Every structure is written in structure tokens, then in C-alpha cells.
Structure 1
Amino acid sequence: MLWLDLEGAVNVRDVGGIPTDDGEKITRGRLLRSDNLQNLSPADVTYLVDHVRLSTVVDLRSPAEVAAEGPAPLTRLGHITHVNHSLLPEHGFDATAEALLVRRKREEERFPGDPSCAHYLGYVEERPDSIVAALRAVNRSPGAALVHCAAGKDRTGVVVAFALTVAGARREDVIRDYAATGERLHLILDRLRSSPTYASSVDSVPEDHHRPRAETMEAFLEQVDKRHGGVLGVLGSNGFTDDELDALRRRLRT
């Protein structure tokens, strides 16, 4: 993977270079992952557009987050396609305290012992439509596609793990890519603390609880295998066709 050091985002990387199970590699310049893009500088925008050849932004934040944060620099460019596919349940981000307690209890029952894994399984069970739509947007992008949420860790981690799995990346490398966000965790949390949208939630738990652990992604993918027939099973049962699978695999590998 290739880190992109931007002025206004701290968890940006190109997943190109990740090995596949047949000895090839994911192609560079096809799929990027990132934290929130609200603070990109003019130099960042120029780099992404002119050097990376970015053409599509896939935003996994909830509508409430998007509204609270307002327009980002890239949204002002008409030639960049922006799509928003939330992985949270409807009214998930701005849910009432009572609704949050109900959701937390459901997640504890879904996968006791690892709240993050339980949360990710919730994306699959409650918003598979958004996962499918996000991958379709990557498929249709004429240039590089960038997938992001707030931290570029959880929601982005799940969608990118699905994309890499379709492309034939080795599972250990899918897990390694997910955990790599931990290298930038302190910077990510500092960015989120600077935003009124996210500041209170960041410090509601100890900092280390935000750390992406390899064991979490490993457990998540194992549970997807057991409960849903794997990544391809989830996608196929939600309308992602064999032709689309082939197209995404080719896009990320050639």
C-alpha cells in the first residue's frame, strides 16, 4: 500500500500493491481509502485531481454527518462524481439515546467480546445495499475511486475489505491493510476532536478502544464466511452480479 501525505487528511492511502492469491498485485491508482475530506487544502485537491486522477468519491457517512460537516473542497468540482451510501441504519448517527442503547444491546448479542466486529456485522446485516452501491461506484469510476467515512477506519475498512477480497487479495493482507490505520490513529483522533460533529464521541471511550486490531477484521471475515457464505455470498444475495464481480476484479488488477 502507498500512503499519501496530504495537508488536510491524515489516513489516506492507495491500496495498490497489495498481493493477490495468484501472485499478482492490486493495481495502483484504482482504489484509495481515506478519512474525512473536509479540510483538504488547494494543494491536496490539485494533487488528487492532477496526479492521482481522482474521478469518484464514495462517502460512507450518514446524511446527518454530511449535513453537519457541510460541503468539502472536492464537492465543488463538477467533474468529480460524489455518491453517499451510509452504512449506518436510518437515523443511525443522530439516533436518540434510547435508540442507541437498543442498538448497543443488539450488537452485544450479535458478537459478544468484540464491539467493533459486532458493529461491522451490523453493516452487513442492516446496510448491505450500501456496500453493494459503494462497490458499484468504484466499478463505474473512469479514474481513481476514493472511499471514505469520518476516520477511514471502520466503515471504510469494511467496504475496502470487500473490494480487496473480490479482487483476490490474500486474507492476511486484507487484514494487514485494515490494521495499518493504527499507524495514524493519534492523528486521526486529533482531527476528529477538532470537529464539533465528532468531538464528543471520540472521547466517550478510551483512545485505545478506537485502535483497529487485526483480530477484529479476522473475526469479522470469519463470521461473514459462517453467517453469509463469505463476501461473495453477501454481494450475490444483494444483487451484485457475477458480471459485476468480474468487472471489479479486472478493474482492481489490470
Structure 2
Amino acid sequence: MTDTLDRTVYVDGLYNMRDEGGLRAGSTYLRSGKLYRSDGLHRLTDRGREQLETMNIATVIDLRDDAERLQSPSNVEGLSLTVRPTPIFQGADQVISGPDMTLTEFYTRMLDQYPAHYARVLRTIAHSGDDRVLVHCTAGKDRTGTAIALTQIAVGVVRDDVLNDYALTEKNLAGPWLDSHLEMVKHMGIQPTPAMVQLIGGSPVEAIDQTLKHVDERYGSVIDYLLAAGLTEGDLTALAAVLLAK
């Protein structure tokens, strides 16, 4: 399995940023310095803004909904990049049925309810040319995790590497990020349950593995899912062309 530890990108104010480059895809691998993933950019410090600017990221795909972007606007004004709001859903209550919902239930519901929204994310990546792309939500875990997993599978990334990449998030979010979000829950008068803690900060391999199995069983394959969602064969060819090392 590919060593994923050296792909972490340290940007001040972010907890869960990494370069997707280096993951195995058949006889090749994902290009380094092309596709990134992270948690929300609203926590960027001045130093973090400078670091992000030097990375020459041209396109930021923000998967958060309108309310999240209004409440926690990304601290990127004035940077040399374009933000493309591409919400997977509008309001978490549209997909989260309760505090004891499992991650697999959450993910499969998102995928089943919003295939066209995922297709839009992948289409933007596919037609990004040489531009560097960053995909993020709030944690860089659920919406980002499922979108990135679909992207990886679509271009042939080895399944073990897809699972391992997703699982890195839990370690990255542990500590200050998770603690601050649990405090917000407590301030709402809610005592976090183990299931809620998992929903907020967990990224067990089983969650994404079972989600991908659901896609295979219900739609035939990730490729079949994406084609039904509105991507074309040309989009998928373009996706592989921009992401895979030559």
C-alpha cells in the first residue's frame, strides 16, 4: 500500500490538507501537485494564506452549502484563485436523520440523493487543465471524502489506497479540530454520544469501503454511477488525463 503519511500539506489554520498525488492507479499513479483536499478555509491564518498562495492553487471547489459559506466564509479574498461553490446538499438535515446515524448511512444517502452534484465536482476537476485544484468542505471528511473516493476510483486508483487515504482524516482531525466541534455541540445543550463523535470526527475504513460496495451493488460500478449522474465518457477520459502521471 502507498505510504500516505508524506502527502500531508501543512498550511497554518488547516488540519486536514493533503496532496492526492502518489496513489497507485494501475501501471501509473496520481500526479503530485494537481489535486488537493482539505477542511474548511475559514480558519486560515495570515501565514496560512501566504502558504496557500505559494502553492499556486487556481481552483477551489467548496462543497459546503450556502448557509455554511455565509456563516464561515473562506479566508481567501485577495488570493490568486477562483472559488467554485459546489454544494453537495443544502442543509445537513436533508441527509442526516439523527445523531446515531452511521457514516455509511450518511454517505450512501448523499450518493443516492445527489448524484448530479457529485458529477459536477468531478466535471470541474476533469476540465481543469493544468490548474491545481483543491476540494474541501468543513472537515474534509464526508462530502470531500466521498467525492475524492469517487474521483480516485474513476481513474483506477487501487482500492486499498482509496481506503487508506480516506482513513487518514480521523488522525488529522483528532485534537483541537474535533474538540472545538464537540464544544459547539455541548453549547447547544447536547451531550455528544460515541456515535455522534464518530459522525463528526471519525473516518473508519469500513465506512468508505461499505459505501463503495453499495455503489457497486446498486449501480454496477462507480463508472456506471457517474455516467448515470451525467458525466460523459469524454469527461472520464479528461479526468484521467489531468490526474494520472504520464
TM-score with structure 2 length normalisation?
0.86
In 2, distance between residues paired with 1:230 and 1:201?
A: 42
Distance change (3 Å), C-alpha of 1:201 and 1:175: farther
1:131-150, CA deviations, whole angstroms, 9 ceiling, x for partnerless residues?
Answer: 11111222233421111111
| Aligned counterparts, 1:43-54, within 5 A | 43-50=47-54, 52-54=55-57
Aligned-pair CA distance for 1:76: 3.6
Distance change (3 Å), C-alpha of 1:235 and 1:60: same
Is 2:142 the counterpart of 1:138? no
Give SS of 2:30's match.
coil
In 2, distance between residues paired with 1:68 and 1:53?
A: 26
Structure 1: state its 5+ residue gaps: 109-113
Is 2:229 the counterpart of 1:238? yes
Q: Residue in 2 aligned with 1:111?
A: none
In 2, distance between residues paired with 1:208 and 1:137?
A: 30
Aligned-pair CA distance for 1:193: 5.0
Q: Residue in 1 aligned with 2:217?
A: 226
Distance change (3 Å), C-alpha of 1:198 and 1:230: farther
Q: Residue in 2 aligned with 1:10?
A: 15
Structure 2 counterpart of 1:24, which letter?
A: T
Q: Residue in 2 aligned with 1:23?
A: 27
Shifted more, 177-186 versus 9-18: the winner is: 177-186
Give SS of 2:22's match.
coil
| Aligned counterparts, 1:1-254, within 5 A | 1=4, 2-20=7-25, 22-50=26-54, 52-69=55-72, 71-77=73-79, 79-88=80-89, 90=90, 92-93=91-92, 95=93, 104=97, 115-141=102-128, 142-187=130-175, 188-193=177-182, 200=188, 204-206=192-194, 207-209=197-199, 210-254=201-245
Aligned length: 235
Structure 2: state its 5+ residue gaps: none
Give SS of 1:74's match.
coil
In 1, distance between residues paired with 2:144 and 2:122?
A: 11
Distance change (3 Å), C-alpha of 1:199 and 1:213: farther
In 2, distance between residues paired with 1:201 and 1:16?
A: 42
TM-score with structure 1 length normalisation?
0.83
RMSD: 2.6
Give SS of 1:16's match.
coil
In 1, distance between residues paired with 2:87 and 2:140?
A: 13
Percent identity between matched residues is 29
1:139-186, CA deviations, whole angstroms, 9 ceiling, x for partnerless residues?
Answer: 233421111111111111000001111121001110110001121131
Asked if the contact 2:136/2:144 (under 8 Å) is kept, the reply is yes
In 2, distance between residues paired with 1:58 and 1:201?
A: 33
Asked if the contact 1:12/1:33 (under 8 Å) is kept, the reply is yes
